């Protein structure tokens, strides 16, 4: 397998992990919205309500930065990072 193929394979697994986490916070937890809302969560808000106001939104911000850092590491590993002067 060429360098490029290996790079793409790693990139693809990172995508799947990212999308799996995304799925949990955007879709997964809302399958159980009614049940989860009975429980008190962060700062005293009901759990589901808190996720829709802050939790999921914040998770997405963190997820994107995490993804960007991981992808940069993958690019470096295979020598595909961009030079600053490009």
Partner 1 sequence: MKGNFIDNLPKVYGIYTGGFIGFIIIMAIAEQMGMTAKAIGIAFVAFTVFIYALIGWLSRTAQADAYYVAGRQVPTVFNGMATAADWMSGASFVAMAGGIYFKGYGYMALLVGWTGGYVLVASLLAPYLRKFGCYTVPDFIGTRYGGNLARFSAVVVLTVASFTYVTAQINATGTIASVALDIPFQYAVYIGLISILLCSMLGGMRGVTWTQVAQYIVLIIAYLLPVFWISNKMGAGFFPHFMLADEVARIGELEQQFGFVKNAAADLKTVPKGLAGITKAHSAVNATPWAFISLALAMMMGTASLPHVMMRYFTTPSVKAARKSVGWSLFFIFLLYSSAPMLATLSKLSLIDPNLPTGIIGKSIAEVQAIDWYQNWNQANLMFVSDFNGNGTLELNEFFMGGKAVVLATPEIAGLPYVISGLVAAGGMAAAMSTADGLILAIANAISHDVYYKIIDPKAETAKRLLVARVLLVVIGFAGATIAAMEIQGILGSVIWAFDFAMSGLFFPLVLGVWWKRANRQGAIAGMLGGLAAGTWYLVWVRTGGSGFLGITQLTFGIFGSAVSFVLMVVVSLMTAEPDKATQKMVDDVRVPSGKTILGKSH
Distance CA 63, CA 14 (A): 12
How far is it, in rounded angstroms, from Cα 75 to Cα 7?
Answer: 7
Residue 14, Cβ density class (10 Å: 0-12 exposed, 13-18 middle, ≥19 buried): middle
Q: Check: CB of residue 74 under 8 Å from CB of residue 11.
A: yes
Told to check if 10 binds partner 1 by CB under 8 A, we report: no
Tell me the per-residue interface mask from 67 to 86 with partner 1, x by CB under 8 A, - otherwise. Answer: xx--xx--x---xxxxxx-x
Between 1 and 34, CB nearer to partner 1: 34
Adjacent-strand bridge partners of 40:
46
Please report, as residue ranges, which positions from 35 to 64 form the binding site for partner 1 (by CB under 8 A).
Answer: 37, 43-46, 48-49, 51-54, 56-58, 60-61, 63-64
Q: Which residues would be at the binding site for partner 1 (CB under 8 A)?
A: 4, 7-8, 11, 14-15, 18-19, 22, 25-27, 30-34, 37, 43-46, 48-49, 51-54, 56-58, 60-61, 63-65, 67-68, 71-72, 75, 79-84, 86
């Amino acid at each position: 397998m060429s360098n490029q193929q290996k790079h793409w394979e790693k990139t693809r697994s990172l995508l799947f992990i990212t999308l799996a986490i995304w799925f949990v916070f955007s879709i997964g937890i809302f399958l159980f919205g009614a049940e989860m809302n009975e429980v008190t969560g962060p700062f005293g808000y009901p759990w589901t309500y808190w996720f829709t106001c802050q939790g999921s939104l914040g998770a997405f911000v963190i997820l994107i930065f995490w993804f960007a850092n991981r992808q940069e590491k993958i690019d470096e590993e295979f020598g595909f990072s961009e030079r600053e002067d490009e």
